[in-house]
Structure 1
Amino acid sequence: MTADDFEKSVFINCPFDDAFAPLLEAALFCVAYLGFMPRLANERLEAGENRLDKIFDMIRSSKYSIHDLSRSQAQKEGEFLRMNMPFEFGMDVGLRRSGVEPFGEKKFLVFEKNPYDLKRALSDTAGQDVEFHRDNHEIVISRVRDFFRVEANVAAPGPAKLEAEYTTFLGWMTEKKISEGHSNQQAFNLPTRERLDEMIEWLDRGKPAEFQGN
């Protein structure tokens, strides 16, 4: 891990399901747009790699983390809560409090769905600033933008500008994927890693308003 890698890496701890996908994509877009590199547990697929070791390596390699703890309440009878997110949040907090440098510099953005959910579900977060998103991707963009503007002191456009850029990107990506042989529906259901790659390519190309071909 180089110092620059640590300063620019953002560990994203969140659900990886269809219902959460719009929120995850909005967060990924904002992180990449502001010049940081998102780190996701599903970015490496080596079959022989221990999942916990992989996640811990990403946590320790990232100065910034976005922890979404919004799935703190079962949605239907018999449903099990997924404990991966609070577990990984706890790992990150422990590393920050370890006294080992540079981990004392780590900074967290913590999400819940609605205000005060976590006070009922995870009382140990009392005193920790927590943001809510109400399952709204526009709120996610605004909160992620504000976090990096304050905590990383980066130049950042306003939330409305970021939302407009995100809409432009989605149109560009859809055109690009259709030109590559995807259907319109398939273009909107790409693997997370592929969507992130397209975000980075769009930024590298100078944020074009429309796809002009390769």
Structure 2
Amino acid sequence: MAQPDNYLNNVFINCPFDPAYNSMFEAIVFAIHDCGFIARCAREEDDGGDVRFHKIIRIIDDCKYGIHDISKADVDVGSGLARFNMPLELGVFMGAQRYSAKGHYNREKKLLVLDSEQYRYQIFISDLAGTDISSHDQSIETLINKVRDFLFNNSRRKSIASGAFIYARYQTFIAALPNYCTNAHWDRDNLSFIAYAICVTEWLKINPI
């Protein structure tokens, strides 16, 4: 099977899609693009006829890299039930890496697993014991550094700047984003993933490293 287009540049994001996490999500997307990669996630397509799980599998297949934040895999205040989407998508990504045929491009997959605390995962998903889990401590600066280091260490691309430099650029971008949205007649507080990604890529064209 032929390797998908942009496979070596595609990064799958598996994280919560809720308002409380949105600033973290935006930071991940920016860091990925500023490192020279392409952010991918389930929100990139809006097809009512497409089964969500099939879409996720297809996107995972397209991506060499995966960033999985399981920090919100806890009890929802409203329903009283745990949210298992993030651990499920992590399992699919790990399965694609582990069970693909020898020599298949999916064997090259690399993943970063994030949580809000270093060893919290042991309480609710102990089967990950032995996996290197990174903690972002709910800090955007720490999160950007973790994403940058993961992509740099696994790609060895000399073009990737330091985490501190990317974080400073992210702050500049976020400050400029409201004016960009105003000029585009977009609502800053209700940007879709595609719209936000366009804002990031357009800003990076004007402000390359």
Change beyond 3 A, Cα 1:77–1:84: closer
What is the CA–CA distance in structure 2 between the aligned matches of 1:73 and 1:44, rounded to whole Å?
26
1:132 corresponds to 2:135: yes
Q: CA deviation at 1:140?
A: 0.7
Identity %: 32
Which string of whole-angstrom CA distances, capped at 9 and with x for unpartnered residues, describes residues 158-182 of structure 1?
2221111111112332222223345
Partner of 1:196: 197
Preserved contact between residue 32 and residue 199 of structure 1 (Cα < 8 Å): yes
Preserved contact between residue 13 and residue 39 of structure 2 (Cα < 8 Å): yes
The aligned runs of 1:172-211 (5 Å cut-off) are: 172-181=176-185, 186-207=187-208
The aligned runs of 1:23-172 (5 Å cut-off) are: 23-74=24-75, 76=77, 79-100=80-101, 101-155=104-158, 156-172=160-176
Change beyond 3 A, Cα 1:169–1:116: same
What is the CA–CA distance in structure 1 between the aligned matches of 2:182 and 2:91, rounded to whole Å?
42
Preserved contact between residue 10 and residue 66 of structure 1 (Cα < 8 Å): yes
AA at the equivalent of 1:171? A
The DSSP-based 3-state class of the residue aligned with 2:177 is helix
Aligned length: 205
What is the CA–CA distance in structure 2 between the aligned matches of 1:201 and 1:79, rounded to whole Å?
41
**TM-score of the two chains, using structure 1 as the length reference:** 0.89
Change beyond 3 A, Cα 1:75–1:48: closer
Preserved contact between residue 174 and residue 188 of structure 1 (Cα < 8 Å): no
Q: Which runs of 5+ in 1 are unaligned?
A: 209-214
RMSD: 1.9
Change beyond 3 A, Cα 1:77–1:50: closer
Change beyond 3 A, Cα 1:77–1:34: closer
Change beyond 3 A, Cα 1:96–1:77: same
What is the CA–CA distance in structure 2 between the aligned matches of 1:57 and 1:99, rounded to whole Å?
14
**TM-score of the two chains, using structure 2 as the length reference:** 0.91
Change beyond 3 A, Cα 1:77–1:39: closer
AA at the equivalent of 1:122? I
AA at the equivalent of 1:164? A
Q: CA deviation at 1:192?
A: 2.5
The DSSP-based 3-state class of the residue aligned with 2:81 is coil
Name the stretch that deviates more: 166-175 or 11-20.
166-175
Preserved contact between residue 72 and residue 117 of structure 1 (Cα < 8 Å): no
Change beyond 3 A, Cα 1:157–1:90: same
Q: Which runs of 5+ in 2 are unaligned?
A: none
What is the CA–CA distance in structure 2 between the aligned matches of 1:181 and 1:5, rounded to whole Å?
31
Q: CA deviation at 1:135?
A: 1.5
Name the stretch that deviates more: 69-78 or 136-145.
69-78
What is the CA–CA distance in structure 1 between the aligned matches of 2:201 and 2:78, rounded to whole Å?
41
Preserved contact between residue 14 and residue 67 of structure 1 (Cα < 8 Å): yes
